[in-house]
Amino acid sequence: MANVAVIGAQWGDEGKGKVVDWLASRADVVVRYQGGHNAGHTLVVGTETYKLALLPSGLVRGKLGVIGNGVVIDPEALLAEIARVRAQGLIVTPETLRIADNAVLILPMHGALDRAREEARGDRKIGTTGRGIGPAYEDKVARRAIRVCDLAEPETLDTKLDELLRHHNTLLASLGSPIFDKQTVLARLLELAPLVLQYAEPVWERLDTLRKEGKRILFEGAQAVMLDVDHGTYPYVTSSNTVAATAASGAGVGPHAVGFVLGIAKAYTTRVGSGPFPSELHDDIGKLLGERGQEFGTNTGRPRRCGWFDACMVRQAVKVGGIQGLVLTKLDILDGLPELRICTGYRINGTVVHHLPAAPGAQAAAEPNYEIMEGWSGSSRGARSWADLPAQAIKYVRRIEELVEAPVTLVSTSPERDDTIMVRDPFED
Ligand code: IMP
129 lines ligand 1 (CB under 6 A): yes
Nearest residue by C-alpha to atom 12 in ligand 1:
273
Give the span between the Cα atoms of 421 and 404, in whole angstroms.
19
239 lines ligand 1 (CB under 6 A): yes
**Is beta strand 41-45 parallel, antiparallel or unpaired with respect to 48-52?**
antiparallel
Q: What is the pLDDT of residues 101-129, one digit of tens each?
A: 999 999 999 999 999 999 999 999 999 99
Alpha helices in 344-412 (DSSP H): 360-365, 391-404
Give the span between the Cα atoms of 24 and 14, in whole angstroms.
17
Ligand 1 center to 238 CA (angstroms): 6
409 lines ligand 1 (CB under 6 A): no
Give the span between the Cα atoms of 132 and 118, in whole angstroms.
11
From the CA of 275, give the closest atom in ligand 1: 10
Give the span between the Cα atoms of 240 and 36, in whole angstroms.
10
Per-residue confidence in pLDDT tens, the chain, 429 aa? 589 999 999 999 998 888 888 899 899 999 999 999 998 888 887 788 888 999 999 999 999 999 999 999 999 999 999 999 999 999 999 999 999 999 999 999 999 999 999 999 999 999 999 999 999 999 999 999 999 999 999 999 999 999 999 999 999 999 999 999 999 999 999 999 999 999 999 999 999 999 999 999 999 999 999 999 999 999 999 999 999 999 999 999 999 999 999 999 999 999 998 999 999 999 999 999 999 999 987 667 789 999 999 999 999 999 999 999 999 999 999 999 999 999 999 999 999 999 999 999 999 999 999 999 999 999 999 999 999 999 999 999 999 999 999 999 999 998 888 889 988 888 876
pLDDT for 224 equals 97
**Is beta strand 41-45 parallel, antiparallel or unpaired with respect to 29-32?**
unpaired
Radius of gyration of the chain from its Cα atoms, rounded to whole angstroms: 21
Name the residue among 38, 368, 3 with its Cα closest to residue 229: 38
- Note the residue count of the chain: 429
Nearest residue by C-alpha to atom 10 in ligand 1:
273
Element (H, E) at 353: strand 351-353
pLDDT for 2 equals 85
pLDDT for 174 equals 97
CATH of 265-428, one of 3.90.170.10, 1.20.120.160, 3.90.870.10, 3.90.1150.10: 3.90.170.10
Name the residue among 110, 200, 113, 184 with its Cα closest to residue 151: 200
Q: Tell me the one-letter amino acid at 296.
A: F
Task: Give the 3-state secondary structure of residue 184.
Answer: helix
Mutation pick for ligand 1 pocket among 238, 242, 280, 296 (CB with most ligand atoms within 8 Å): 238
Give the span between the Cα atoms of 251 and 270, in whole angstroms.
28
Give the span between the Cα atoms of 211 and 257, in whole angstroms.
8
DSSP 284-328: HHHHHHHHHTT-B-TTT-PBPEEE-EEHHHHHHHHHHHT--EEEE
**Is beta strand 408-412 parallel, antiparallel or unpaired with respect to 325-329?**
parallel
**What is the reported pTM?**
0.95
Q: How far apart are the first and last CA of the chain?
A: 6
From the CA of 38, give the closest atom in ligand 1: 16
Distant-in-sequence, close-in-space partners of 245: CB < 8 Å, separation ≥ 6: 255, 258, 322
Give the span between the Cα atoms of 301 and 335, in whole angstroms.
25
Query: How far is C-alpha 384 from the chain's CA centre?
Result: 25
38 lines ligand 1 (CB under 6 A): yes
Ligand 1 center to 50 CA (angstroms): 20
233 lines ligand 1 (CB under 6 A): no
Give the span between the Cα atoms of 244 and 415, in whole angstroms.
24
Fold of 4-100+200-260: Adenylosuccinate Synthetase; Chain A, domain 1 (3.40.440)
From the CA of 40, give the closest atom in ligand 1: 19
User: Which residues are designated catalytic?
Assistant: 13, 41
Give the span between the Cα atoms of 330 and 351, in whole angstroms.
33
Ligand 1 center to 273 CA (angstroms): 7
pLDDT for 400 equals 98
Mutation pick for ligand 1 pocket among 55, 129, 220 (CB with most ligand atoms within 8 Å): 129
**Is beta strand 339-348 parallel, antiparallel or unpaired with respect to 367-374?**
antiparallel
298 lines ligand 1 (CB under 6 A): no
Ligand 1 center to 148 CA (angstroms): 23
Kindly report the number of other CB atoms within 10 A of residue 64's CB atom.
20
From the CA of 130, give the closest atom in ligand 1: 3
Ligand 1 center to 422 CA (angstroms): 29
126 lines ligand 1 (CB under 6 A): yes
75 lines ligand 1 (CB under 6 A): no
133 lines ligand 1 (CB under 6 A): yes
Question: Phi and psi of 176, rounded to 5°?
Answer: 75, 20
Ligand 1 center to 302 CA (angstroms): 11
Sequence spans of domains, the chain:
4-100+200-260, 104-196, 265-428
Q: Is the dihedral of CA 99, 101, 104, 108 positive or negative?
A: positive
Ligand 1 center to 11 CA (angstroms): 8
pLDDT for 416 equals 83
Nearest residue by C-alpha to atom 9 in ligand 1:
128
What CATH superfamily classification does 104-196 receive? Adenylosuccinate Synthetase, subunit A, domain 2 (1.10.300.10)
